[in-house]
Amino acid sequence: MKNSQALLEQGNAAAAQGRWDAAERGYAACCKLQPGNAVAQHNWGVALLELGRAHDAIAAYERALAANPRYAQAYCSLGIAYQAIGVPDAALVALDCACQLDGQNPRLAIERARVLVNLGRPAQALGTLEGLAASQPRNAVVFNLLGIALKQLRRPDEAATAFGTAIALQPAQAEALNNRGNLQLQARRFKEALQDFDAALALQPDMPWLRGTRLYTAAHLFAWNGFDAERAAIIEGIGRGARIIQPLALQTLVDDPALQQQAARLWTHAACPRLQGATTTARVRASRKIRIAYVSKDFRSHPVSFLMAEVIELHDREHFEVIAVNYGPASEDPMQQRLRAAFDGFLDVEALTDADIAQACRSLNVDIVVDLTGFTDGARSAIFALRAAPVQVSYLGYLGGSGTALYDYLIADKEIVPAEFRACYDERIAYLPSYQANDRQRPCPDRVPGRASLGLPESGFVFCCFNNPCKISPELFARWARILAEVPDSVLWLLGEDGHAPAELRRHGQALGLDPARLVFASRADRSTYLARLAAADLFLDTLPYNAGTTASDALWIGLPVLTQRGRSFAGRVATSLLMAVGLPELIASDADEYVARAIELARQPARLSKLRQQLVSARAECRLFDAPRFTRSLEAAYAHMHQRAAAGEPPCDLELAEPT
């Protein structure tokens, strides 16, 4: 007994110094001599968890509780370990037990609130956190958690205040800085977000996803100092399996589908840790109608809805039933009201957990769920990890694969996922004749505003790109500078969303020999105004590695030619798909030099450009890109094949849909 006590004290001393290997050895030796020592078993679990051995830690905590069923701290530690392996439901049960045994312990209440927040139940955590904030006004951890809960509840101003309090109480708290930075990024306050990310990075350089988010934020401001080195470090980090960048952010940095696949795998395994053990609980129905649930947070005035609205309206109700599963806010937004009228059912599920939403889809006997959000902002991938339906499909919101079996099918076409890059996508591919849905009810401006009213010169050539600024890389901007240098009377018209960004890009332009006046910036505008503005430009210059998507089809719709460079990755080939579907393959460059040369040629050949514009206007009523009925029939044929295979007990396979007649 005396020897076991010495070993316990030895382990405690090592733990106090952060020497977890030595601590684990001491606790293991103590427990071997005295397996019924609850404290030793618990401490052994703490050391094991610090060493990344969460499952072994859980076993140790369970032995501690077998020895002392009223050991509240062991229940708390068990809850923390279950969180570490991505089983928050079990964590909540353990922490409920801890709180029942020691209801006055604030640490137990904090950990229980943390689990509720991680489970997506902020409303249940809020009362506890507000009480803790009142009773412990100096506790930075409490205010950080309160900020997370308020952010989830869509109370951003209060969340910002809570994060600010946490940072004021503990300036070196990287987590709160990162959380506030993400809140600022979501609000598109890029300068403030970058400041928070820089501060967090200085404190904790290896914080998961922070380095990539920081570079993604800097790209919105054209803050390119150290850009190449940072991009190289991120690429190296992905190679060694580091959680360094989210998939969407990487798509703006590299045109490498294999690297994007690896980043998606790292993200999905972190965001959905139970994915590999998930089982299919949804069953295939034998029914005359296939029930489809479109799942998104963007059923509102948003690019995805701008593209999909007419498809929903055109679905064949004799053979399909379509339901919206909306985890965004309910609103009076005109597009949302149009969609509410178009769907057969519209479910507002924002307040439900991921598990509740997945169960709701199963309870409704949904045959196919279609994720229209993917890995974009606000994604709730766990809905699909929990298997909401027998067939799960990814489409439109996120331009790429999930890197795992999260979805059975990814919708694409042969231009976007050619045979040479097929291995870079883990899902089965449903190849449609043309990838992008479109809405023929999008506005078509009948009057083009005068250039002077838009801040443009009355004469000369107007190149434009209204893509998000983060899609503009230093290399791409250098190409644009080459183009402008060869077309002396031209300007480049860009989206000037952030008040700090234009001056920075003009500074980069001056370094390349450009007159700052040749860069013109437009603010964001309502959809009709924006489309009318596009008509005032002469040529749209696309971005790579992340192409214009909805923006490109908007330009083509109003008759503005789009010049793209064919990439390798999904997001880098979307504009190629659109141009093939509209019948203008001559606007697809094979490399950067051809892209530059073709832009210069078109600017110097007004008659040729005018012919292209006329061709676009004439093609609008008959080309594949804007033929919503034909697209809808192709999509429905894909759904029917997917459902047929599932009903027959056959696994998903690549599908190639013929052009509908």
Q: What is the pLDDT of residues 570-585, one digit of tens each?
A: 999 999 999 999 999 9
In eight-state DSSP terms, residue 333 is -
pLDDT of 86 reads 81
**DSSP code per residue over 246-261:** -HHHHHTT---HHHHH
C-alpha span between 226 and 135 (Å, rounded): 45
Quote the Cα angle for 250-251-257, to 5°: 100
pLDDT of 487 reads 98
Q: What is the pLDDT of residues 131-159, one digit of tens each?
A: 999 999 999 999 999 999 999 999 999 99
C-alpha span between 178 and 163 (Å, rounded): 10
Burial letters 589-625, b for 16+ CB under 10 A, else e: beeeeebbebbbebbeeeeebeebbebbeebbeebbb
**Does pLDDT of 540 surpass 90?**
yes
Residue range(s) of every CATH 3.40.50.11380 domain in the chain: 278-431
**DSSP code per residue over 64-101:** HHHH-TT-HHHHHHHHHHHHHTT-HHHHHHHHHHHHHH
Q: Are strands 409-412 and 428-431 parallel, antiparallel or unpaired?
A: parallel
C-alpha span between 298 and 528 (Å, rounded): 19
Q: What is the pLDDT of residues 411-442, one digit of tens each?
A: 999 999 999 999 999 999 999 999 999 999 99
Which tokens hold the place of 298?
């963007």
pLDDT of 381 reads 93
Residue 62 in contact with residue 86, Cβ under 8 Å?
A: no
Q: Tell me the pLDDT band of 283, cut-offs 50, 70 and 90.
A: low
Taking Cα atoms as reference points, which of 213, 221, 145, 144 lies closest to residue 182?
213
Quote the Cα angle for 234-240-246, to 5°: 45
C-alpha span between 106 and 187 (Å, rounded): 33
Q: What is the dihedral of CA 51, 52, 54, 59, to 10 degrees?
A: -30
pLDDT of 274 reads 59
C-alpha span between 561 and 66 (Å, rounded): 72
Taking Cα atoms as reference points, which of 305, 288, 367 lies closest to residue 313?
305
Q: Are strands 562-565 and 588-589 parallel, antiparallel or unpaired?
A: parallel
> Can you give the pTM of this predicted structure?
0.93
Q: Tell me the pLDDT band of 218, cut-offs 50, 70 and 90.
A: very high
451: left (phi over 0), alpha (psi -120 to 50) or beta: alpha
In CATH, the architecture of 451-626 is 3-Layer(aba) Sandwich (3.40)
C-alpha span between 548 and 437 (Å, rounded): 14
Q: Tell me the pLDDT band of 656, cut-offs 50, 70 and 90.
A: very high
C-alpha span between 134 and 228 (Å, rounded): 47
C-alpha span between 316 and 318 (Å, rounded): 5
Which tokens hold the place of 584?
């203008």
Average pLDDT over residues 277-290: 66
**Does pLDDT of 638 surpass 80?**
yes
C-alpha span between 541 and 562 (Å, rounded): 6
**Does pLDDT of 23 surpass 50?**
yes
C-alpha span between 5 and 15 (Å, rounded): 15
Q: What is the dihedral of CA 84, 86, 90, 95, to 10 degrees?
A: 40
**Does pLDDT of 284 surpass 80?**
no
Q: Could you tell me the fold of the domain covering 278-431?
A: Rossmann fold (3.40.50)
Residue 402 in contact with residue 425, Cβ under 8 Å?
A: no
C-alpha span between 140 and 318 (Å, rounded): 57
Q: What is the pLDDT of residues 156-200, one digit of tens each?
A: 999 999 999 999 999 999 999 999 999 999 999 999 999 999 999
Residue 583 in contact with residue 615, Cβ under 8 Å?
A: yes
Residue range(s) of every CATH 3.40.50.2000 domain in the chain: 451-626
C-alpha span between 304 and 374 (Å, rounded): 11
Euclidean distance between the first and the last CA atom of the chain, given in angstroms as a whole number: 85
Q: What is the pLDDT of residues 229-262, one digit of tens each?
A: 999 999 999 999 999 999 999 999 999 999 999 9
Q: What is the pLDDT of residues 73-123, one digit of tens each?
A: 999 999 999 988 888 889 999 999 999 999 889 999 999 999 999 888 999
C-alpha span between 213 and 66 (Å, rounded): 44
Quote the Cα angle for 640-573-304, to 5°: 55
Mean pLDDT across the chain: 95
Residues found in the chain: 661
Average pLDDT over residues 476-498: 96
